[in-house]
Amino acid sequence: MSKTLFSLYILFSLLSLLSQYSSAQTPPSKICKSTPYPSYCNSVLPSTNSSSTVYDYGRFSVRKSLSTAQKFSSLIDNYLRKSKNLTITAVRALEDCKFLAQCNIDNLIGSARIVDTTSQTLSLSRADDVQTLLSAILTNTQTCMDGLQATASAWSVRNGILTPLSNDTRLYSVSLALFTKGWVPHKKRNKPSAYNPSIRKHLMRNGKLNLKMSDKNRAIYRTANSNRRLLQADNSGNQVVVSNITVVSQDGSWNFTSINDAVNAAPNNTDGSNGYFLIYVTAGVYEEYVSIPKNKKYLMMVGAGINETIITGNRSVVDGWTTFNCSTFTVVATGFFGMGMTFRNTAGAIKHQAVAVRNGADLSTFYSCSFEAYQDTLYVHSLRQFYLECDVYGTVDFIFGNAAAVFQSCNLYPRLPMPNQFNAITAQGRTDPNQNTGISVQNCTIRAADDLANSSVTIQTYLGRPWKEYSRAVYMQSFIGGFINPAGWSIWSGDFALNTSYYAEFANTGPGSNTSRRVTWPGFHVINATDAANFTVAAFLLGDDWIPQTGLNYTSGLL
């Protein structure tokens, strides 16, 4: 190519790029129409330059959101310093807000780091990472608001906190909308294929998990697990990598007698590249409130089996705890994997909200575990979660929260509630149309627990109800018992969220699966395989990117 032709080629390329850039320039008034709060968005975005792109506006909004989250954290600190005149319940609600504000700061720092590096559509997995973080920011803010509103004794601080929180929520929503418009691939996610063993490695053999560990750790594990071999450690085939192992035993014969002590001894902020830190918890009833904090990443906790290793507590809202902090077991650390344990909250139906497990851990997995309580048993709070072959028992809203959560091959057992109560299996908490959250129930079995099945009292039981405005839950390829109300779904209050929620059913079986008498809300759908595929592990969680590390033999797509 001659120098003249090369120069013309470069000039043409530059003019083409300039043309593309100019065509992408959009005034704030236009870009804000794509957000849930156009007027607020218009007032927030800078008006000095009417020719910015969606990426410019998105970066500005994320940075402003970070500054706002930091200011809110300082505001909560001020209230906590003056909290001597508040009840313990009000203080706990403020402490929840402090924790959630710090989570938001961390999430926004991570989001800003990514949006600052590119002005083009991200890969699907990269975009899902940021969309998940920004979705969780809205969830955290709503959780803070809910906790304060539910605490009567906190009335003196509500106005000073709820008003800025309302503005913060709108700003975070704008940030999520602009990110979705600019960075998220707009093509519909491909329908995942049915599970194919050739897609990924088989790490499970005969129902047992192969572990790759040092000779010393293998000897420790084999000795500790001599009575019940949930896992199999050998040198053949593909294995789950374990970097180290510690054992909890109540009789003092091993490393720790307390689960929390073992958690504290785990390494901080590992990236999972060297495998899991394994805590094996021997059989027994552990009466302690266990917390897996954010810095204990990629921790694997294995018990001796359901009803063998039991973690139990009895905190409840009636006894002065917030819903957020009454859980027996709490996990927020990325990459957590729990297996072979029972989690209980024994407060009973009379104590209303009493959580067994609160999960706010991204890329977290529970396998062969049992979650047992009454109202609000399992709090799938935020981020991406997977549950395989688990049992969940409860009454009112017993699977609730705003994570992107998939339950696969699980047993869901509605129990006998208090008089004048009804059962709702799910209460999903999506508050924004751009959040990538929801509850997906696939290949599960919904049966009445023994106390409900044997009761002489007729109890109405529903698949779910809309806790928040954009509540989303899908049941597919599952067995639904005949005790489910033919309407399928219950209202929350009046016509709240009946138009904006998304409830769907696909290819379910059993006497309760007949959809001919289901609710006629605009938000209810009987969907086809193409739509159902969007709620599989592969599509909804992008689970094929991270679940194989656990070694579980899960189903990637539709059955």
Catalytic option among 397, 495, 531, 544? 397
Contact 62, 175 (CB under 8 A): yes
Tell me how far apart the alpha carbons of residues 452 and 459 are, in angstroms, rounded to a whole number.
Answer: 8
Alpha helix ranges (H) inside 488-556: 529-532, 537-540
Q: Across-strand partners of 265?
A: none
Neighbours of 82 (CB within 10 A): 10
Tell me how far apart the alpha carbons of residues 406 and 301 are, in angstroms, rounded to a whole number.
Answer: 20
What is the 3-state secondary structure of 144-167? HHHHHHCCHHHHHHHHHHHHHHHH
**211 φψ region: left (φ > 0), alpha (ψ -120 to 50), beta (else):** beta
Pairing state of beta strands 445-446 and 357-359?
unpaired
DSSP secondary-structure letter at 484?
B
Tell me how far apart the alpha carbons of residues 350 and 15 are, in angstroms, rounded to a whole number.
Answer: 71
Tell me how far apart the alpha carbons of residues 521 and 80 are, in angstroms, rounded to a whole number.
Answer: 44
> Which H helix or E strand runs over 453?
helix 450-453
Instruction: Quote the radius of gyration of the chain (alpha carbons, Å).
Output: 25
Report helix, strand or coil for 443.
Answer: coil
Quick one: CA torsion of 296, 301, 306, 309, rounded to 10 degrees? -90
- Is 56 one of the annotated active-site residues of the chain? no
- CA angle at 121 for the pair 119 and 123, rounded to the nearest 5°: 125
| Closest residue by Cα to residue 106 from 438, 332, 366, 432 | 332
Positions marked catalytic: 397
